[in-house]
Structure formats: C-alpha cells, structure tokens
C-alpha cells in the first residue's frame, strides 16, 4: 500500500518536445510502481509552438495520474516549474526535464533521503553533454559555490525532490531553478546532493545558449549573494501570544 494518495507531484516542464512526449509514461512506469508514494505527473506546456500540447493531452486522457497546465506563450523554465509548485496539492514536489537525460527511476534514490532532508537534488555523473556545455556548466557551478557556499556541485541538475512548503517560500525570479539548493539553505533547511545517471539527448534540442547558460546565471549569483549578505536573523526569547488548536497542512 502506498504511503498516501498522491503524495508527490513530479513537474515536467515542456517546450517544443513533441517528439519525446510519448516516451514519458513508459520511462516513468518503473518509478511509479516502485515509489512509496502515489505519484502524480504534472506536465507544464511552456507555450510550445509545435504539437507538444496535442501530445500532452493524449497522455492526460490516457492516465488519471497525468495532469497538465498550458501557458498561452513561452515564459521560461523557472515560470513553468513555479506554476507547477503553485498548483500541486502534495506535501512533496519533484522536477525532471522532459528530454529524459536523467532517469525517473533515480527519484527512488532521492526519496530514500527525504525523511531527513527538505530538498534532495541529483548530481549528474558522467554527463553526456557537449564539451562546451559541460565546461560552461562546470564554471558556473564553481562560481556559484564560491559566492554562495551552498556545497552543491551540480545545482542545475534537472532531478530534484523538495517539500512543497519550502518551494513556495522561495522568491520567484527568472533563472531561480538553478538556485533551489541555495534558496532552501537561506530558509535554514537541510539539503543533500545524490549521484544520478545522465544520458544523451535523444529527441528535441537544447533551449539554452551561452547567455542563459553562463552569463545570466553569473548575474543571478551575484544578486543572490547580495540577498544572503543582507539577511536579518533574530531569535525570540519569549512571547505572550495565545495559540489556538488548529490542524495545519503543509
């Protein structure tokens, strides 16, 4: 018996991935059957200009655990993920890219850690990307960790699980998906990184270029460092607030 009904929502942002959408359900089958949670898949169509939305609707019509959102125009990866966070109804939320360069079965590795952590992120081992992409990503990760000291080697890995309550407390900005571990640490939450598999892209093409893979993240890193330096920390020693009994759901 599963732990609870729809205990985790996996968010899958999609932008012009019509060729690969039919691969999603077969790729998730083993994870869904093995997970201790009831799993819901939430596909977010980020204003695709191809037939992605048609293919997404086919999946949603086929299986009750598949739902979707669709933007009227492209808003970017961070907006797609954030929309998924906002509309999820589960205690836990996950994220994976539709290109399936990471394997849904590795969510089981992340699940094993969530009793002890608020955010569990993957670390892609043996990355199957181009040399330019790997070098730019490596530099961006080094720069981010040097500035933010989040202790994460692959912050942009598209395989994560976190408490929905933690996700909803994060400030929303374009590019925020690269900084989920640091944003969780700012809240004082516990974060861990787990090695996961990585595969070459089979369908579609990368949506990133030099600007949004390297230059823009460097600017965001500096902005986030400023925000971390400006944190105001306080401790309440006593208070007289009367609390009423209430049931609080995350």
Three-class SS state of 209: coil
Rg (CA), the chain: 18
Residues 155-214: tens digit of each pLDDT: 889 999 999 999 999 988 888 888 899 899 888 999 999 999 998 877 656 555 555 556
Buried b (16+ CB within 10 A) or exposed e, 225-244: beebeeeeeeeeeeeeeeee
Give 7-46 pLDDT, tens digit per residue.
999 999 999 999 999 999 999 999 999 999 999 999 999 9
Coil, strand or helix at 73: coil
Within-domain flag for 246: no
Q: Which of 142, 123, 127 has the alpha carbon at shortest distance from 214? A: 142
Crossing angle of helices 131-148 and 216-229, rounded to 10°: 10
**56-110 pLDDT tens trace:** 999 999 898 999 999 999 999 999 999 999 999 999 999 999 999 999 999 999 9
How far apart are alpha carbons 160 and 177 in whole angstroms? 10
Residue 158 lies in a domain: yes
239: in domain: no
Does residue 176 form part of some domain? yes
The three state secondary structure string of 75-130 is CCHHHHHHHHHHHCCCCEEEEECCCCCCCHHHHHHHHCCCCCCCEEEEEECCCCCC
Range of the domain at 92: 8-229
Nearest to 57 by CA among 29, 89, 11, 18: 18
**Within a domain: 236:** no
- Domain CATH code at residue 87: 3.90.550.10
Q: Evaluate whether residue 2 is within a structural domain.
A: no
243 lies in some domain: no
- E-assigned strand segments in 167-243: 191-196
Tell me, yes or no, whether 247 lies in a domain.
no
Is pTM beyond 0.75? Reply is: yes
Name the domain count of the chain: 1
pLDDT for the residue numbered 100: 94
């Amino acid at each position: 018996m599963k732990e609870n009904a729809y205990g985790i929502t996996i968010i899958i942002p999609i932008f012009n991935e019509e060729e690969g959408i039919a691969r999603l359900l077969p790729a998730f089958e083993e994870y869904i059957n093995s997970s201790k949670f009831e799993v819901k898949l939430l596909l977010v169509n980020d204003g695709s200009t191809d037939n992605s939305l048609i293919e997404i609707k086919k999946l949603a019509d086929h299986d009750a655990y598949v739902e979707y959102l669709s933007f009227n125009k492209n808003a970017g990866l961070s907006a797609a993920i954030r929309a998924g966070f906002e509309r999820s109804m589960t205690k836990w939320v996950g994220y994976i890219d539709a290109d399936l360069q990471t394997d849904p079965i590795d969510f089981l590795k992340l699940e094993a850690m969530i009793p002890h952590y608020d955010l569990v992120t993957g670390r892609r081992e043996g990355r199957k990307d181009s040399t330019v992409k790997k070098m730019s990503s490596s530099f961006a990760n080094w720069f981010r960790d040097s500035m933010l000291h989040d202790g994460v080697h692959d912050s942009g890995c598209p395989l994560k699980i976190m408490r929905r309550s933690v996700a909803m407390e994060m400030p929303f900005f374009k590019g925020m998906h690269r900084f989920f571990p640091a944003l969780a640490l700012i809240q004082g939450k516990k974060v861990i990184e787990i090695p996961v598999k990585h595969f070459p892209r089979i369908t579609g093409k990368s949506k990133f270029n030099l600007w949004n893979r390297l230059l823009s993240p460097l600017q965001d890193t500096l902005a986030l460092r400023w925000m971390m330096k400006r944190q105001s920390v306080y401790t309440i020693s006593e208070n007289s607030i009367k609390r009423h009994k209430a049931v609080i759901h995350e």
